[in-house]
Each structure stands twice: as structure tokens, then as C-alpha cells.
Amino acid sequence: MIKGFKDFIMRGNVIDLAVAVVIGGAFTALVTAIVTSIINPLIALVYKPDEKTGAIGPTFVGLHGDEVTFPLGGLLTAVISFFAVALVVYLVFVVPMNKWKERQAAKAGVVEEAAKLPTEAELLIQIRDLLEQQGSAPAPATRRSAEPPSPSI
């Protein structure tokens, strides 16, 4: 049982996943710090921070006369963090893994099936040839005249 667990843990996928989670968490903290330290102050140059909550964004007067601030800083932090982390995970993990899988497949001599598939024209030619062999080939196409048929009275 312990040997099976050890084999499971030592598999490449589990270790890669653990590394990705740790790096993703650290990178998220880094992006959040950058957005909070640089982007939010830039937004604060345009919009005055709310005195009560410190939220940065446009302020509107509510129905009861109190001011309401839409906190764009927090939303912007989340959006930038999401896209930055997604981009890094794609570039650091997904692209190299796909390249590695392609190399492994090429090493094993696996040829892509898509390259072997015949084109539509080749398939039609094969169908025609089979029909001719069976003797049930369609009659040769006749040329129709451009004139519409005359109505019979």
C-alpha cells in the first residue's frame, strides 16, 4: 500500500500539479501587489478614494442622499490578476507540455492520423472506381440545354 502511494506521488503529473499550484499562488500574490501598488494609485489620480472605506472609483449620490462609491480598484486587481496568471500558466506549463507530448509521440514513431486521411476528392474518386467495378456506375452526365422545357398543352 505504501509502495503504491509512493508510485502515485512520484508520478510526473502529481508533482507538476503541486509545483503549478505553489507557483500560481506566489504569482497571484505578486500580481496583486503590483496592481495594488501601481495601478490603484493611478486610478486614485482620476477618482478620489472614498473617505470611509478607502475604495477607489467613481462616486455617485444615492437615492437617500448618501454617496456610493463603485470600487473599481478591487475589480481591476482581480481582472488583471486572472489574466496575468492565466497567461503565465499557459506559457510556462501548457505550451511546454504540448511540445513535450509532440516530441514523445514523434520518438515513438506515431504518425498523426490526420495526415493519413484522404481528401474529399480522393474519396469521391475511390467511390466512383468502386461503382464502376460493381457495374452500377451512374450513366455519364448529359448536358442540359439552357432553355426551359416547353409546356405541353
* Dihedral sign from CA coordinates of 63, 64, 66, 71: negative
| 2-134 CATH fold | 1.10.1200
Predicted pLDDT of residue 128: 92
Q: What is the pLDDT of residues 93-108, one digit of tens each?
A: 778 888 888 888 887 7
d(CA 86, CA 106): 29
When the pLDDT of each residue in the chain is averaged and rounded to a whole number, the result is 76
Q: Confidence class of residue 125 from pLDDT cuts 50, 70 and 90? A: very high
Q: What is the pLDDT of residues 27-75, one digit of tens each?
A: 878 888 887 788 778 877 777 776 677 777 777 888 887 877 777 777 8
% of the chain residues with pLDDT over 90 = 6
Map out the domains of the chain as residue ranges: 2-134
Which one is predicted more confidently, 129 or 109? 129
d(CA 126, CA 130): 6
139, pLDDT greater than 60? no
Query: 3-state DSSP call for residue 11?
Result: coil
Query: 3-state DSSP call for residue 69?
Result: strand
Q: What is the pLDDT of residues 53-62, one digit of tens each?
A: 777 777 788 8
